[in-house]
Chains A and B, each alone.
Chain A
Amino acid sequence: MTNLLTIAFTAFFIENILLYQFLGVCSFIGVGKKRSSSLGMGLAVVVTIILAGMATWAIYRYVMEPLDIGYMKTIVFILVIAALVQMMETIIKKFSPALYKALGIYLPLITTNCAVLGVAITNITRDYSFAEMLVYSAAIPLGYLFVMYIYAIIREKLELNPVPKAFRGIPIAMILAALLAIIFSRFGGLI
């Protein structure tokens, strides 16, 4: 139990996917401009990573490992993730048009998001059991959602403040991301 708690805390704060592992940063800078879109993207990532984590873990454990073809994991995982997102999109479109509208362009974007593949591969390289894998693949995207939301709030406030002309837009967003990363790196001292 403590093991699972450690994994969850580490994944959420210390090894935050955006600020420590630097995965999925393109969506961080791109979508983190508005609170509503950051929330939509974050929720889509949560669902995708949990589903993709389970699917890739099962395929690796029960198909690839017995056949001794673990080196194929990158290409197989990309295939699985792309197919999964495609199916999810169709199902969401049918049952919840409102959610489909809200997620909109973010769903196809997730297919090529390195964060999803990163989590799937970390699950394998760290040799996680099913429960550990589930906790890790839930905590990582929740950390993503959390950081993304904080970032969007600050960037919305930043729009109203006098930023020097040379720093307006992306440059100040990068500096902001760096400051957040410094804050989050301090969590490392806790464990």
Chain B
Amino acid sequence: MGILIPPLVLGGLGMILGFLIYLVAWKFGVEEDHTVRDIEHLLPNYNCGACGYPGCKGMAEALVSGKAVPAQCKPIKKEEIEILNKYLEALKTGTPVPAEVK
């Protein structure tokens, strides 16, 4: 019976802490600009680093700020890069993002 105590304590503690994190995130969470996250989804997400940025997130940030071009991404597929270009074009001109991107 005693062997059940450590897993129960650890599991209980994990659950309480997880719930606390959820509460804090729900109470104090901040809405962030979702463009970086959207672009990250459009990238292959291999985090290979071939573009010269630390992972796909770094590349997405550089794309938003205009420091990088989509061609720097090596493993991306042809049809994917077209969607990415369309998204970036829409971002630059300020027009709503085309529906097929989502």
Which of A's residues lie within 8 Å of B, judged by CB? Answer: 59, 63-64, 67, 69, 72, 75-76, 79-80, 83, 86-87, 90-91, 93-95
Contact = CB atoms under 8 A, between A and B. Distances in A.
B21 interface: yes
B29 interface: yes
B95 to A, nearest CB: 29
Contact of B21 (A72, A83, A93): A83
Contacts of A95: 28
B30 A93 contact: yes
A67 B17 CA distance: 19
Interface of B: 5-6, 9-10, 13-14, 17-18, 20-21, 24-25, 28-30
A79 to B, nearest CB: 6
Contact of A76 (B5, B13, B29): B13
Give chain A's interface secondary structure class: helix
B9 A79 contact: no
